Amino acid sequence: MKLGSYSKLIKKALLVVMSEKFIIMAIMFLNLFVLTGLLASRYYLFENIIENGMSKTDVIASKNIEIYDPDKTEIEQNKEIKKIKPVLKPIQEGIDEYIRKNLGELLNSIKEIRDKNAKDAVKRAEIKQLLEITENNYFINNSVDYIYKSSEGGYSRLASESLNTLNNILDEGLSDSDMTDNRSSILEKCIKSYLPKSQKRSISLIINKILEPNMTEDKLATELERQKVMNTVKPVNATFKKGDLIVSVGDKITRVQKAALRKMGYNVSQIDFSKLLGIFSLVGLCIFTLAYYLYNFDSKFLKPSYLGLISLLALVVTLFAVLLPVNTPVYIIPLPAIAMLLTIFTNSRISMLVTILNIIMLGVSLQYEATDIFVFLLGGMMAIFTSNSVNYYRRMDIVRAGFDVGLIQTFVVLSIFLLQNGTENINIPELLKSILLGFANGLGSGIIALGSLPLIESSFKIVTPYGLAELADHNQVLLRRLQFEAPGTYHHSLMVSNLCEAAAEAIGANPVLARVGAFYHDVGKLKRPLFFIENQSYFGIENPHEKLNPRLSKMVITAHPKDGLELAKEYGLPQVILQFIIQHHGDGIAAYFYKQAIEQEGAENISEEQFRYNNPKPSTKEAAILMLADAVESAVRAMKNAAQEVIEEIVDNIINERLFDGQLSESPLTQKDLKVVSSVFKRVLRGMQHHRVQYHQNVIEELNQKTGNNNLKIIQQQLEAENLPEIPPKNE
């Protein structure tokens, strides 16, 4: 292969490697392997003493250890649960009346048999058949005989006691399980004890015939009762004193021993290739989820700078979690700081997604408790909500947001502590420690986020609202130069910024970005400030374009966006501001010099393309608003003291002209947005074009009468300073 072919391959390879897609893929794969290594390394930090569930060595306690014993606690809970009776509820409405009705019908049927003129054997057989009695023994026969042989008074008492017994049973409640397991004992308990045995047996035979469940178990209420009882059971702890043998070589490790070993600092988990593959798969799934979301819903953040930032923050928090000492509360990991930073540098949706994915990776891989994950989730969400509503002109507001997060985490930790321990078993020192750590985590996260902002902004070249607020400071070098070297341009930029900010806020664009972009959009005029009319009147010079031909004037005027781009790069302005400088004229036409050229050279010798700007069109809402505001402010300023109807007509004409010229074709502005922008421009311009009340003449005349003519010169100088017309002295 020739040398030229090799060089072409190298160039192609370099182009691929330097492409944005390749860098994005490289960041994702690098993040995948590094995060997997960090999360898996937790298993290699300490000596592993367990193999196949057995201890490989003797371990003696080097300090006093008290460990929660879940097995013994569970035994105690089960004892208490067995004492709980199921909570019952009626099977259906009117079931008790239905059962009583059946008893009444049964007693009437028995009375009909009693009143028959038949032999005793026949009556006994009929009553047995009625009561569905199949047994044939002395006690049964004796009870049946009592039913049909007793006197009328005896039978009335039997019927009455049967009804009383049934009422007692129904009042206590009878479930399906009672019918199967406790039927005899329930009957025996509900029949009055002082009754004769023969009468008791007779009542049992009658009740058994019509008895059926009137209640069913309310499983939800029963489970709540059981949970309530479980929560009242005090946790049982196992104690190992210093010098005690925790586990012997070859012993099968129990849950208590495993917890004790973990508290001693040993690794109690074994890692193999399957677990390593599991961590790798989990991390890969989380990265894929983030990439899928960015690609489909927030593609403007699918860039190396943003992915690099997200990866760095995820790696930092993972490293912090892995290096955290054993037995340290895990919720001191500064996850709220990560959530705050991502909210500021991206948006709340991405911040929420990345925070949740981080919690999943840490919680599953490092085997966190569900309560710790709950603290993470609430703390992260509150960090996103609070940092999303801070005032970007006051950096300390982010510390206040951290304070709010600390308060929320305090209440979350307190709630979990009370739920786990109850009010009777509160360990005050442990509770205070947990609360203080939760609060310190929130406040510390705010401080970390505040301190990290400038470093991240400069490292990743991402401008945040805080950075924009700094660029809006009029003591910035470029803005100071505009004030002194091109004051007319500076004043024009201020007016345009007011229009941009109001319009951007009205249509849901970024008002801070639009305002700052307007401040810097004309910095290119610093190269030749006197060639722009707004500066000529300030310095009191003649228009230099009168001595130039239209083509040369056009070259000077249309060069200011590219001049501004060079100047902005020289002063280190961020990329997001550069788009305002280069796009605010698009490829529009320099109409004044185009018409002037036609007058001088003839229309047949001139084309529009020769007098157009050679710049990209606005690609964002904010840049498009700036293009419109720039043209509108210049046109209205040129029409001194224009009527409101004229201003409104100018605004509509300029917006329509830019629209029909295709200057807005690459911006996301809609027709509805343009209507709102037009309305806002008209409202703001009406405020800018207000008229001053003419009260000065009367004031000066009055002062002249009181103080004499000596003060007249001083007052006139003040009026001149306010750019008001001079008032002649009063003739005495």
Listed ranges 2-16, 128-142, 187-201, 367-381; the one with the highest mean pLDDT: 367-381
d(CA 86, CA 174): 11
Q: Which residues contact 27 (CB under 8 A, 6 or more apart)?
A: 304, 307, 308, 311
Residue 606: what pLDDT? 85
Q: Is 59 helix (H, G, I), strand (E, B) or coil?
A: strand
- Both tokens of 552, joined, read 């040369």
Closest C-alpha to 302, from 290, 315, 289: 290
Residues 151-190 have pLDDT tens digits of 888 888 888 888 888 888 888 788 777 777 777 787 777 8
d(CA 369, CA 359): 12
| Dihedral (CA of 648, 652, 658, 661) sign | negative
Closest C-alpha to 130, from 212, 211, 210: 210
- Both tokens of 558, joined, read 């249309």
d(CA 541, CA 532): 11
Write down the mean pLDDT value for the chain. 82
195-199, 333-337, 431-435, 489-493 — which is least confidently predicted? 195-199
Q: Is 341 helix (H, G, I), strand (E, B) or coil?
A: helix
Number of H helices, E strands in the chain: 33, 8
Residues 507-529 have pLDDT tens digits of 999 999 999 999 999 999 999 88
- Place 421 in a pLDDT band, splitting at 50, 70 and 90: low
Residue 360: what pLDDT? 94
Q: Is the pLDDT of residue 318 over 70?
A: yes
pLDDT above 90 coverage of the chain, percent: 33
pLDDT above 70 coverage of the chain, percent: 89
Q: What is the mean pLDDT of residues 663-692?
A: 87
- Place 269 in a pLDDT band, splitting at 50, 70 and 90: low
Residue 695: what pLDDT? 43
Residue that has been written with the tokens 């050279």 in this structure: 601
Helix, strand and coil in the chain, % to nearest 5:
70, 5, 25
Q: What is the dihedral of CA 694, 700, 702, 704, to 10 degrees?
A: -160
Residue 725: what pLDDT? 36
What CATH code would you report for 276-462? 1.10.1760
d(CA 157, CA 192): 12
Residue 84: what pLDDT? 79
Residue 272: what pLDDT? 61
Residue 46: what pLDDT? 46
d(CA 313, CA 355): 10
CA 149 to chain centre: 82
Residues 41-96 have pLDDT tens digits of 766 544 566 666 677 777 787 777 888 888 888 888 888 888 777 777 787 888 88
Q: What is the mean pLDDT of residues 637-663?
A: 88
Residue 621: what pLDDT? 95
Looking at the DSSP bridge assignments, the partners of residue 237 are 68
Residue 491: what pLDDT? 92
In whole angstroms, how far apart are CA 354 and each of 207, 332, 456, 513, 571?
Answer: 68, 18, 17, 25, 34
Give me the DSSP letters along 489-550: HHHHHHHHHHHHHHHHHHHTS-HHHHHHHHHHTTGGGGSSGGGSHHHHHHHT---GGGGS-H
Residue 45: what pLDDT? 45
Q: Is the pLDDT of residue 445 over 80?
A: yes
Residues of the chain with CATH 1.10.3210: 468-688
Closest C-alpha to 465, from 380, 346, 294, 564: 346
Q: Is the pLDDT of residue 700 over 60?
A: no
Of the two residues 549 and 495, the one the predictor is more confident about is 495
Residue that has been written with the tokens 């961020």 in this structure: 574
Q: What is the mean pLDDT of residues 94-102?
A: 84
d(CA 25, CA 21): 6
Residue 497: what pLDDT? 95
Residue 709: what pLDDT? 47
Q: Is the pLDDT of residue 451 over 70?
A: yes
d(CA 397, CA 386): 9
Q: Is the pLDDT of residue 729 over 80?
A: no
| Answer CATH for 468-688 from 3.30.200, 1.10.3470, 1.10.3210, 3.30.70 | 1.10.3210
Residue 624: what pLDDT? 96
Residue 80: what pLDDT? 82
Residues of the chain with CATH 1.10.1760: 276-462
Q: Is the pLDDT of residue 633 over 50?
A: yes
- Place 689 in a pLDDT band, splitting at 50, 70 and 90: low
d(CA 269, CA 261): 11
Q: What is the mean pLDDT of residues 423-428?
A: 65
Residue 694: what pLDDT? 45
Of the two residues 39 and 45, the one the predictor is more confident about is 39
- Place 699 in a pLDDT band, splitting at 50, 70 and 90: very low
228-242, 438-452, 619-633 — which is least confidently predicted? 228-242
- Place 383 in a pLDDT band, splitting at 50, 70 and 90: very high
Q: Is the pLDDT of residue 719 over 50?
A: no
DSSP code of residue 639: S
73-87, 308-322, 707-721 — which is least confidently predicted? 707-721
Residue 692: what pLDDT? 45
**Residue 375 host element (H or E):** helix 370-387
Closest C-alpha to 481, from 434, 535, 531, 438: 535
d(CA 17, CA 14): 5
